[in-house]
């Protein structure tokens, strides 16, 4: 998965006024802050975020928006509220999967991030196909009065004090007309934040579209495993240089949940790890309606085998 050409070129243009060794240092600092769940405020960190983190966030959001439209008709998503919007990644990631968007409201407390976002939008080859409103504010203090079809909280909970997260989740759920998407890093800590959100919203009657195939207690709690997934993204030449990386791609790990105000119409299982391909058979670990199950599908089961061999980590399995 790659960034749109106009977005990638705009990022390169912004970075061109900085020395490479400084960009490398900024990138290392941003990576550490990302792991700690700390917020960014320095202009240098925001720039480094564009190069090192925005491509990964774009890839994750794009994948999750695609998952969303498996469960709900994209025509039902006309309005989007993005809390902690950063440089407006969702404006780019939502365009293909959510073609019926008519309005997006973005909340971001850093004015510098908003300025960068508008600079990036100015480099687009075509104008946005929906109206866009930026609000510079703290998401704990004031949210829009009216609800939105889709509410997005992408890599936000880690920046909120733990004792205030339940309040924020409840407020976001009140602003949700159809679906709420929560995304966190694919770390044990990130998953735990998503899991606590799951516990809270199930008590409010929420349904789960993804990734869970059930609303039971999460079977991955308490062990060494945690629920997370991966998306592969291409690295630009600049991205490789500041990360001192040789590979032309990287795999971004993430945890997420799509909550809905209506029941999910689909029954499925979720692939939890990369399938194990062996001679004449395929081993798959699944999260099912009954919990974690390991399945072996043999080549002689031609229809199932042909379907299963195309599966990747995080995919749905529907037999």
pLDDT at 54: 87
Q: Measure the CA–CA gap between 64 and 288, rounded to whole angstroms.
A: 20
DSSP secondary structure of 178-233:
EEEEEEEESSHHHHHHHHHHHHHHHHTT-EEEES-SSSS--TTTTSS----EEEEE
Give kind and range of the element (H or E) at residue 288: strand 281-288
The architecture (CATH level 2) of 5-260 comes to 3-Layer(aba) Sandwich (3.40)
Domain locations along the chain: 5-260, 269-317
Locate tokens 């979720």: which residue?
270
DSSP state of 318: -
Vertex 38, ends 240 and 234: CA angle to 5°? 20
**Region 67-87 average pLDDT:** 95
Residue 237 has pLDDT above 80, yes or no: no
Range with top average pLDDT, 94-103, 116-125, 293-302: 94-103
CB–CB of 233/249 below 8 Å? Answer: yes
Q: Are 112 and 95 in contact (CB under 8 A)?
A: no
Please measure the distance between the N-terminal and C-terminal CA atoms of the chain and give it in whole angstroms.
28
Q: Which residue has the tokens 């909120």?
A: 160
What is the arithmetic mean of pLDDT over 111-131? 89
What is the C-alpha to C-alpha distance for residues 251 and 241, in angstroms, rounded to an integer? 17
Instruction: Return d(Cα 206, Cα 169) in angstroms, integer.
Output: 12
CA distances to 201, 235, 253, 313 from 247, in Å = 40, 8, 17, 21
Residue 64 is classified by DSSP as H
Residue 283, CB half-sphere, CA atoms under 13 Å: how many? 6
Three-state secondary structure readout of 226-246: CCCEEEEEECCHHHHHHHCCC
> Does the pLDDT of residue 287 top 90, yes or no?
yes
Q: What is the pLDDT of residues 166-198, one digit of tens each?
A: 999 999 999 999 999 999 999 999 999 999 999
Ramachandran bin of 236, using left for φ above 0, alpha for ψ from -120 to 50, beta for the remaining angles: beta
Of the listed ranges 10-19, 78-87, 240-249, 258-267, the one predicted with least confidence:
240-249
201 compared with 5, residue with greater pLDDT: 201
């Amino acid at each position: 998965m790659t960034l749109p050409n106009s977005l990638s070129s705009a990022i390169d243009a912004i970075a061109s006024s900085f020395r490479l060794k400084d960009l490398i240092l900024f990138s290392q600092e941003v990576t550490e802050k990302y792991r700690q769940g700390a917020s960014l405020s320095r202009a240098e960190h925001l720039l480094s975020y564009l190069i090192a983190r925005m491509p990964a966030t774009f890839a994750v959001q794009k994948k999750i928006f695609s998952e969303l439209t498996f469960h709900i008709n994209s025509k039902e998503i006309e309005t989007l509220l993005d809390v902690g919007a950063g440089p407006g990644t969702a404006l780019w990631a939502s365009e293909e999967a959510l073609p019926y968007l008519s309005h997006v409201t973005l909340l971001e407390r850093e004015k510098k991030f908003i300025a960068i976002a508008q600079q990036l939008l100015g480099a687009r080859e075509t104008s946005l196909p929906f109206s866009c409103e930026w609000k510079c504010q703290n998401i704990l203090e004031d949210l829009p009065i009216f609800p939105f079809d889709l509410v997005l909280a992408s890599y936000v909970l880690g920046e909120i004090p733990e004792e205030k997260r339940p309040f924020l989740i409840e407020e976001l759920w009140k602003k949700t007309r159809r679906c709420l998407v929560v995304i966190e890093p694919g770390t044990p800590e990130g998953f735990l934040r998503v899991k606590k959100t799951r516990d809270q919203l199930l008590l409010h009657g929420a349904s789960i579209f993804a990734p869970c195939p059930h609303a039971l207690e999460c079977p991955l709690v308490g062990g060494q495993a945690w629920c997370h997934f991966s998306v592969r993204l291409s690295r630009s030449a600049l991205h490789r240089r500041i990360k001192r990386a040789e590979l032309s791609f990287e795999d971004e790990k993430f945890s997420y949940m799509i909550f809905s105000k209506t029941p999910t119409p689909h029954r499925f299982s979720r692939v939890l790890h990369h399938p194990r391909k062996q001679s004449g058979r395929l081993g798959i670990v699944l999260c099912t309606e009954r919990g974690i199950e390991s399945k072996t599908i043999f080549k002689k089961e031609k229809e199932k085998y042909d379907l299963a061999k195309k599966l990747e980590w995080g995919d749905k399995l529907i037999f």
